[in-house]
């Protein structure tokens, strides 16, 4: 050991160092640092410490001095070293952020990291780091549509009220059509999934026709009334209403939430409603398909049954849809609305204000 170096370890610190050295989950750099201090405290010479820990002389000296100066905590952290690359100036980051929020001069719709790096004169990784720190993602775009319905607030509160506090002795149905469901058959059989490889399917397909699913989701118990039809005119809509009439127990009022599709407001449909007084229609605001609960069921149908399905005929497709409806009805889950309508109204108002200010 060097002259003038005396490493003293208390019993409590020795136990902590020994536990650190024996722990298999400890980082190796912490293990050999602890061994250096323990061996030094036992009076072992520098050469022997180097041999047992596999470190250099300067390394042994460094951690002896670190322990003497900072104790055990000094062994568990590394001193920060200045970067070899000078940090970017604040003006550079501000310029990158400002340019990102404008259209590029080239015939492109958005900035890429390579374009921005060339324009500003910095590296691609620096551009990506600036974007990440400011939450900018120019390669992504989100879709939206603000409702322009003059009765937006009234209709929103009406529909949400049915979800949150449905009337007593009544049934609330969320209705819509999923049209143009294609019966697609792949040109070649796909390969099954195996270890190290995802399942495969050909990019091309053969069309065998389409069908339309009329579906009404009972928001109280989560069951679905579904019918497949070739078209989605007012005639098919009335046929589906007759199917609902046959399935819903007599004496219950039926509140139907539906969108503003022209077939839903046809004179023949209005005449049907006058003959069936227990049916009450509640129209969602325009451009508010997200407010209709059955849309979530359609998304589940698409993701779980249709996207990867292989159907060699429309009959095949309709049979698969009917089986899916039957299976989900066997284990239904009631629809639960959680969004605050006041927050939705405030967000829509902000959206209109931003649009008016930009355009």
The domains of the chain are located at 11-75, 90-133, 152-351
Give the rounded distance of the alpha carbon of 59 from its chain centre.
Answer: 48
- The CATH architecture assigned to 152-351 reads 2-Layer Sandwich (3.30)
d(CA 127, CA 119): 11
For 71-92, write each residue's pLDDT tens digit.
888 888 887 777 777 788 889 9
The tokens for 43 are 């009076």
Strand partners, 256: 173, 281
Mean pLDDT within 273-292: 93
Query: In the β-sheet with 279-283, what is the strand arrangement from edge to edge?
Result: 224-229, 205-218, 170-186, 253-258, 279-283
Angle between helix 152-164 and 341-358 (nearest 10): 150
Residues in the chain: 359
Element (H, E) at 93: helix 90-100
Q: Is the model's pLDDT at 1 over the cut of 60?
A: no
3-class SS at 110? coil
Instruction: Look at the pTM and tell me if it is higher than 0.85.
Output: no
pLDDT band for 45, please (50, 70, 90 cuts): confident
d(CA 335, CA 340): 15
For 106-142, write each residue's pLDDT tens digit.
889 999 999 999 999 999 999 999 999 999 999 999 8
The tokens for 153 are 């607030």
For 298-340, write each residue's pLDDT tens digit.
999 999 999 989 999 999 999 999 999 999 999 999 999 999 9
d(CA 92, CA 121): 9
Strand partners, 215: 176, 226
């Amino acid at each position: 050991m060097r002259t003038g170096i005396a490493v003293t370890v208390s019993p409590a610190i020795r136990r902590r160092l020994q536990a650190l050295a024996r722990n298999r989950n400890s980082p190796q750099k912490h293990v050999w640092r602890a061994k250096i201090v323990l061996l030094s405290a036992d009076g072992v010479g520098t050469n022997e410490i180097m041999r047992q820990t596999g470190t250099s002389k300067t390394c042994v000296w460094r951690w002896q001095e670190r322990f003497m100066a900072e104790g055990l905590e000094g062994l568990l952290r590394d001193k920060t070293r200045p970067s070899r690359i000078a940090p970017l100036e604040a003006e550079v980051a501000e310029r990158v952020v400002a340019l990102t929020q404008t259209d590029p001069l080239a015939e492109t719709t958005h900035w890429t990291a390579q374009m921005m790096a060339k324009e500003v004169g910095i590296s691609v990784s620096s551009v990506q780091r600036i974007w990440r720190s400011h939450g900018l993602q120019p390669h992504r775009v989100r879709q939206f549509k603000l409702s322009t319905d003059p009765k937006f607030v009234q209709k929103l509160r009406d529909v949400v009220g049915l979800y949150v506090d449905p009337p007593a002795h009544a049934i609330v149905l969320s209705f819509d059509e999923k049209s143009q469901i294609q019966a697609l058959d792949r040109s070649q059989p796909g390969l099954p999934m195996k270890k190290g490889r995802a399942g495969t399917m050909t990019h091309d397909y053969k069309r065998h026709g389409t069908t339309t699913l009329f579906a009404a989701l009972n928001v109280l118990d989560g069951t679905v009334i579904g019918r497949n039809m070739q078209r989605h005119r007012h005639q098919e809509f009335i046929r589906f209403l007759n199917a609902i009439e046959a399935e819903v127990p007599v004496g219950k009022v039926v509140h139907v939430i539906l969108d503003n599709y022209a077939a839903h407001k046809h004179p023949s449909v209005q005449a049907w409603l006058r003959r069936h007084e227990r049916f009450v229609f509640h129209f969602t605001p325009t451009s508010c398909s997200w407010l209709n609960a059955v849309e979530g069921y359609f998304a589940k149908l698409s993701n779980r049954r249709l996207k990867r399905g292989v159907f060699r005929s429309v009959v095949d497709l309709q049979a698969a849809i009917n089986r899916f409806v039957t299976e989900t009805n066997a284990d239904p889950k009631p629809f639960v609305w959680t969004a605050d309508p006041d927050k939705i109204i405030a967000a829509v108002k902000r959206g209109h204000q931003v649009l008016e200010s930009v355009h």
